[in-house]
Amino acid sequence: QVQLQESGPGLVKPSETLTVTCNVSGYSISSGYYWGWLRQPPGKGLEWIGNIDHSGSTDYSPSLRGRVSISLDPSENQFYLKMTSVTAADTAVYYCTRMPDSSGPSHYWGQGTLVTVSP
Amino acid sequence: DIQMTQSPSSLSASVGDRVTITCRASQNIDNYLTWYQQKPGKAPKLLIYTTSNLQSGVPSRFSGSGSGTDFTLTINSLQPEDFGAYFCQQTYITPQTFGQGTKVEIK
């Protein structure tokens, strides 16, 4: 049974860097599939951030490109989202997901982790 | 970016009703349309992918149709557990984009 679980800092100050970790169990992330990040500001809709494939190739939303990077660590079976120069607009629940390919839906989701950007 | 427009933004229906939610893309997305259900405080749950394919374990009262720019999610015989928000997503071109959501309330 594939399971994903996010962990994050909870609170980040404006202009700082946010790092969220997704721990994957039940499947080796280096074996295949695409691994993605999405976010949802409180009370609002969903936004796609980007994804990474099992070989480390990435794709990012143009609106966030330059501020975000996604990486994976097969030895820990984890992948990461790093976002620099955060503002209050980056306050959201951050979800990690697994997709069959770059055009596929998110079949598996973590439970989400709320990150608040505040002084 | 491709804009996804859902309607209605909210609806209230009775148990047993047939419910229809529509999603319109600002350009052709072929059949790369996904539907999710989200309960309060929970992650979205995949219902339907590539327009009409029912995810394993999802009740058959859910169905999807459409192509190109116009898509529909239908819930036949609405059940009490079907309350929540429903989102469409296009995965045809990055950035993948979502509709703004439809909140379904049970009368």
Q: What per-residue confidence (pLDDT) applies to A40? A: 98
Question: Does residue A65 surpass a pLDDT of 90?
Answer: no
- The mean pLDDT value of chain A amounts to 96
d(C-alpha B68, C-alpha B33), whole Å: 9
Q: Predicted confidence band at A113 (pLDDT cuts at 50, 70, 90)?
A: very high
Strand (E) or helix (H) holding A81: strand A78-83
State the best of A2, A4, A46, A68 to mutate against chain B, taking most chain B CBs within 10 Å: A46
Q: What is the mean pLDDT of residues A47-64?
A: 95
Q: What per-residue confidence (pLDDT) applies to B74? A: 98
Residues 6+ positions from B44 with CB-CB distance below 8 Å: A46, A95, A106, A109, B36, B37, B38, B87
Q: What is the mean pLDDT of residues A81-104?
A: 96
Residues of chain B with C-beta less than 8 angstroms from the C-beta of A45:
87, 98-101
In total, the C-beta contacts within 8 angstroms joining chain A to chain B are 49
Q: What percent of chain B has pLDDT over 90?
A: 100
Q: What is the mean pLDDT of residues B30-52?
A: 97
Does the distance separating the beta carbons of A47 and B98 come in below 8 Å? yes
Alpha-carbon distances, residue A112 vs A11, A14, A21, A89, B70 (angstroms): 14, 21, 11, 17, 30
Q: What per-residue confidence (pLDDT) applies to A117? A: 98
Residues of chain B with C-beta less than 8 angstroms from the C-beta of A102:
94
Q: Identify which of B91, B95, B100 has the shortest CB distance to residue A61.
A: B95
Q: What per-residue confidence (pLDDT) applies to B76? A: 96
- The mean pLDDT value of chain B amounts to 97
Q: Predicted confidence band at B62 (pLDDT cuts at 50, 70, 90)?
A: very high
d(C-alpha A69, C-alpha A47), whole Å: 16
Does the distance separating the beta carbons of B101 and A109 come in below 8 Å? no
Does the distance separating the beta carbons of A106 and B95 come in below 8 Å? no
Residue ranges of alpha helices (H) inside A1-119 are none
Q: What percent of chain A has pLDDT over 90?
A: 97
Q: What is the mean pLDDT of residues A71-89?
A: 97
Q: Predicted confidence band at A93 (pLDDT cuts at 50, 70, 90)?
A: very high
